[in-house]
Amino acid sequence: MSEVENIVKRGRVAQKEYELYTQEQVDLVVSAVAWAILEPGRNAELAELAVRDTGLGDAADKFKKNFRKTLGLVRDLQNAKTVGVVSHDPATGITEYARPVGVVAAITPSTNPGATPINKILNALKCRNAVVIAPSPKGLSTCARLLQFVHAQLDLVKAPRDLVQMLPDPITKDATHELMRLADLVVATGSQANIRSAYTSGTPAFGVGAGNVLVIIDENANLDSAAQKITQSKTFDNATSCSSENGAVLLDAVYDAAIDALERAGGVLLDAADKQRLHDVMFSNGKLTSTLTAQSPAVIAERAKLQHPKASGARFFMVEETGYGPTAPFSGEKLSPILTVWRAANFQAAKELVSKVYSYQGAGHSVGLHTASSGSVMEERAADLARDLPVARVIVNQAHAIATGGSFENGLPFSLSMGCGTWGKNNFSDNMNYRHYLNTTRVVRPITEKVPEVETLLANYFSQHPK
């Protein structure tokens, strides 16, 4: 028996025991495990370890992310029913029972080596599953330390430690593939190579699409407010999030004023020469390299040898673009505090440009809109984007990276894994949440038969095309 087989076998034994827990017992386990990372000292250790070992992001921001994303998830889970009867409809005679899926394989990225694993652990435990984490090699140490904290909390509530396990060091593709094959469900976040592997593992899988979020600033927007929100989002954790704005489409009527607002918020617009210097470091044969991924603006300025007099003090950089696609690599995802800006003649042109960019990269994820704070204009333009663009979310007047994965200021579920629908080659288009970790069994009772008449059902058709 391989080491991975043994891990999954132990997970199955623990899960069978855990499946007998009541809702009250399950909720106690979830609370205990949440405290593994919500406790400030442990959170700080994990945040610092993540930055030290991955070289990605900012420790203070990771601390905030670990806390807020976990706190929001616990709020979402608090009153959710995941044991026994979860719904009953006397009219249909159907009663629904929540059932676990078994052993979950959780594939997690280096960009969030603490926040994403705990999110998947808590969702899995809430639904009476066991979970095995497959961290990225860079995120191994953070995940291992997190699991030490988790196991201590499981001990406190006398729950089996094998409910939460991880692949052993070293993390290999072969071991990850074997885990996915042996598990009952795969939940994958990370590179598109990992997502494709999850979908072809032979095991039911939820995987997420690629990011490359664009935001439109229209002529009705409060420009300083929009700039502050974009800056908050673009600079958070050095833009490790797939929900961080990669580009802004500015309407011609406010282009110059919007650039000024973004610069007041800390952005620095680079000239053509600095844009080329940045390009030469960021891309190789048109492909994004990891050289500047999730690095601070100061590190980016130094590595790219930027000449702008304010480069060393920038909060983020901006580069102007007119095209999209492989010949315009700045139109794609950059995973760094670098914002591409386009000029559009009007709202319709802006929408069309976003669609073209998403045909290259980012389809299915999200689009942002900064517009009037309320009223018919806001509603009409948000509806316009929702009807026409290949996106699962339209984020209105919010800091995109904060809002898309759930926020205390909107109603989306807290998550670090965003489904992108068939546009992004995913089989779901909502934020991954506990419902994706459940099976449902339905008791179906007989009800009084009601057979409709054909003439009634097709009345509209027959009114136009008589028999």
In DSSP terms, which residues pair with 40 in a beta bridge? none
Phi–psi pair at 330, nearest 5 degrees: -70, -10
In a domain, 258, yes or no: yes
Q: Which of 127, 143, 242, 420 is catalytic?
A: 242
Query: What was the pLDDT predicted at 375?
Result: 92
Give the range of the structural domain holding residue 26, as residue numbers without chain letter. 3-207+433-443
pLDDT 10s digits, 276-308? 999 999 999 889 999 999 999 999 999 999 999
* Alpha helices for 361-390 (secondary structure H): 376-388
Tell me which of 72-81, 156-165, 204-213, 356-365 is least confident: 204-213
In a domain, 424, yes or no: no
In a domain, 454, yes or no: no
The answer to whether residue 353 scores a pLDDT higher than 90 is yes
Sign of CA dihedral 327, 331, 333, 339: positive
Claim to verify: residue 87 and residue 227 sit in the same structural domain? no
pLDDT 10s digits, 215-274? 999 999 999 999 999 999 999 999 999 899 999 999 999 999 999 999 999 999 999 999
Claim to verify: residue 169 and residue 240 sit in the same structural domain? no
What percentage of residues in the chain have a pLDDT greater than 90? 97
Q: Which amino acid appears at position 23 of this protein? A: Q
* CATH number of the domain encompassing residue 299: 3.40.309.10
HEC profile of 395-460: EECCCHHHHCCCCCCCCCCCCCCECCCHHHCCCCCCECCHHHHEEEEEEECCCCCCCCCHHHHCHH
Claim to verify: residue 180 and residue 135 sit in the same structural domain? yes
Tell me which of 37-41, 191-195, 258-262, 389-393 is least confident: 191-195
Query: What was the pLDDT predicted at 191?
Result: 83
Claim to verify: residue 64 and residue 27 sit in the same structural domain? yes
Residue carrying the six token digits 């309320």: 374
pLDDT 10s digits, 394-451? 999 999 999 999 999 999 999 999 999 999 999 999 999 999 999 999 999 999 999 9
Q: Is-catalytic flag, 127? A: no
CA 446 to chain centre: 42
Claim to verify: residue 169 and residue 279 sit in the same structural domain? no
Claim to verify: residue 125 and residue 163 sit in the same structural domain? yes
* Alpha helices for 95-171 (secondary structure H): 115-126, 140-156
- Band of pLDDT at residue 84, cut at 50, 70 and 90: very high
Claim to verify: residue 156 and residue 256 sit in the same structural domain? no
In DSSP terms, which residues pair with 247 in a beta bridge? 214, 340
Closest CA to 334 of 388, 278, 372: 278
Claim to verify: residue 365 and residue 438 sit in the same structural domain? no
In a domain, 364, yes or no: yes
**End-to-end alpha-carbon separation of the chain, Å?**
68
Helix (H) or strand (E) holding 247: strand 247-251
The Cα-based distances of 126 to 15, 25, 372, 402 in angstroms read 12, 10, 40, 24
How many domains, in total, are found in the chain? 2
The answer to whether residue 35 scores a pLDDT higher than 90 is yes
Claim to verify: residue 367 and residue 439 sit in the same structural domain? no
Angstrom distance (rounded) from CA 29 to CA 1:
30
Query: What was the pLDDT predicted at 194?
Result: 85
Closest CA to 229 of 331, 329, 339, 89: 339
In the chain, helix, strand, coil percent, each to 5?
50, 20, 35
**Using N-to-C axis directions, what is the helix angle for 223-235 and 255-264, rounded to 10°?**
50
In a domain, 451, yes or no: no
Query: What was the pLDDT predicted at 1?
Result: 85
- Band of pLDDT at residue 190, cut at 50, 70 and 90: confident
Claim to verify: residue 226 and residue 122 sit in the same structural domain? no
Tell me which of 11-20, 43-52, 189-198, 452-461 is least confident: 189-198
Question: Which two three-digit tokens encode residue 408?
Answer: 């205390």
pLDDT 10s digits, 132-160? 999 999 999 999 999 999 999 999 999 99
**Beta-carbon contacts of residue 301 (< 8 Å; ≥ 6 apart):** 311, 312, 314
In a domain, 423, yes or no: no
- Band of pLDDT at residue 467, cut at 50, 70 and 90: confident
Angstrom distance (rounded) from CA 318 to CA 217:
15
Contact 131, 160 (CB under 8 A): no
Mean pLDDT in residue range 322-342 = 96
* CATH number of the domain encompassing residue 132: 3.40.605.10
Claim to verify: residue 385 and residue 352 sit in the same structural domain? yes
In a domain, 320, yes or no: yes
In a domain, 141, yes or no: yes
Closest CA to 50 of 32, 37, 68: 37
Claim to verify: residue 389 and residue 249 sit in the same structural domain? yes
Contact 244, 234 (CB under 8 A): yes
